[in-house]
Structure 1
Amino acid sequence: MKTLTLLRHAKSGWDDPVARDFDRPLNAKGRRAAEVMGRHMRDADFAFDHIVASPAIRVGETLDAIEAGYGRKLAPEWDRRVYLASAATLLDVVHGFDDGAARVLLVGHNPGLEDLVLMLVPEGTGALRGAVEAKYPTATLAEMTFPVDHWADVADGGGTLTRFVRPRDLDPTLGPDER
């Protein structure tokens, strides 16, 4: 059995004057959401054998804030392929995971993460998948399990979505901004 947890980076600051998208930092709401998610991960006893993350600034800052709430040091492998990757590229990354790792956290960006969940979890499998179809917000976790021994055997439609946790599920003030 393999467990893959996907984490979308927290809300970034579009008003920050950076030259490259890659360098965009989190905003205050994003830092708060990531810390809340880290506390949830601690309270729900999440544990990972391996972590792979996009090297974008907003992903690193998300993991720093997650650590503050989680209370554990995270030591990701930074993989440039994850930056703004498609679902197909992310699946290639997953296929390359070491089989000695049973529980992996993959931290990146949308739409790739959302598309990966929709690729790996069959349609019509419940409310959690429906929630992913509706929207995969920033700082949200999706956990899937696969009845395989090798990461290379993770395939389209072969997963079970076991958790989909949005920051607003943990703190309603972290929901969408009112317009």
Structure 2
Amino acid sequence: MKTLTLLRHAKSSWDDPVARDFDRPLNTKGRRAAAMIGRHLKTLDMRFDHVIASPAIRVIETLDEVWGGYGRKLEPVWDKAMYLASASSLLDLVQSLPDAAGHVLLVGHNPGLEDLTLDLTLDNDLRDRAEDKYPTATVAQMTLPIEHWRGARSHSATLVAFIRPRDLDPTLGPDTP
């Protein structure tokens, strides 16, 4: 059995004048949400053997905040191919993970993470929530009935957790007009 956890970067700032999308930082709400997610991961005692992340600024800043809440820093493998990767590219990445890793955390972007979640998982109530909306700083955790990552296939995993920041603090939900 393998466990895969996907974390979408926290809310970024569109007000910050940057030359490239890759360089967009988090906004204040995104920082708060990422720190809260980190604290929640700690309360759930989630542990990761291997972390792979997009090197986009908003992902780096998300992880800094998550690790602050989590209480310890894990060093990711920075993989530029994760920047705006499609679900099929992410699945290729999953299938090439080291088998020694039992619980992997991927940190990146939508729509790839949402699409990968929906592609890998079987129907259940959590999957319905993910299909409805996969907001920033959301965690999706799934178990895969495999011994080797290369065996990861569509519609084979069970979504066991789907945690949105607004589930932990309603003020971290969508802005109201």
Q: TM-score, normalised by structure 1?
A: 0.98
Q: 1:80, 1:67 → 2: CA distance?
A: 21
Tell me which residue corresponds to 2:127: 129
SS, match of residue 142 in structure 2: strand
Deviation at 1:50, TM superposition (A): 0.3
1:163 is aligned with what amino acid? A
Tell me which residue corresponds to 1:92: 92
Deviation at 1:106, TM superposition (A): 0.2
Listed one character per residue, the Cα deviations across residues 84-121 of structure 1 (whole Å, up to 9, x for unaligned) are 00000000111111000000000000000000011001
2:158 is aligned with what amino acid? T
Listed one character per residue, the Cα deviations across residues 31-75 of structure 1 (whole Å, up to 9, x for unaligned) are 000000000000110100000000000000000000110001120
Task: Please point out which of 147, 150, 153 is paired with 2:151.
Answer: 153
Task: Please point out which of 136, 142, 152 is paired with 2:140.
Answer: 142
1:72 is aligned with what amino acid? R
Deviation at 1:126, TM superposition (A): 1.9
Q: 1:22, 1:131 → 2: CA distance?
A: 28
Count of residues paired in the alignment: 177
Q: 1:14, 1:89 → 2: CA distance?
A: 27
Q: TM-score, normalised by structure 2?
A: 0.99
Deviation at 1:80, TM superposition (A): 0.8
Listed one character per residue, the Cα deviations across residues 156-178 of structure 1 (whole Å, up to 9, x for unaligned) are 01100000000000111101000
Tell me which residue corresponds to 1:31: 31
Tell me which residue corresponds to 2:9: 9
- Are residues 1:165 and 2:160 paired? no
2:84 is aligned with what amino acid? L
1:176 is aligned with what amino acid? P
1:80 is aligned with what amino acid? K
- Are residues 1:175 and 2:173 paired? yes
Tell me which residue corresponds to 2:53: 53
2:154 is aligned with what amino acid? D
SS, match of residue 16 in structure 1: coil
Tell me which residue corresponds to 1:67: 67
SS, match of residue 26 in structure 2: coil
1:139 is aligned with what amino acid? A
Deviation at 1:127, TM superposition (A): 1.3
2:6 is aligned with what amino acid? L
Mind listing any 5+ residue stretches in structure 2 that lack a counterpart? Answer: none
RMSD value, Cα = 0.5
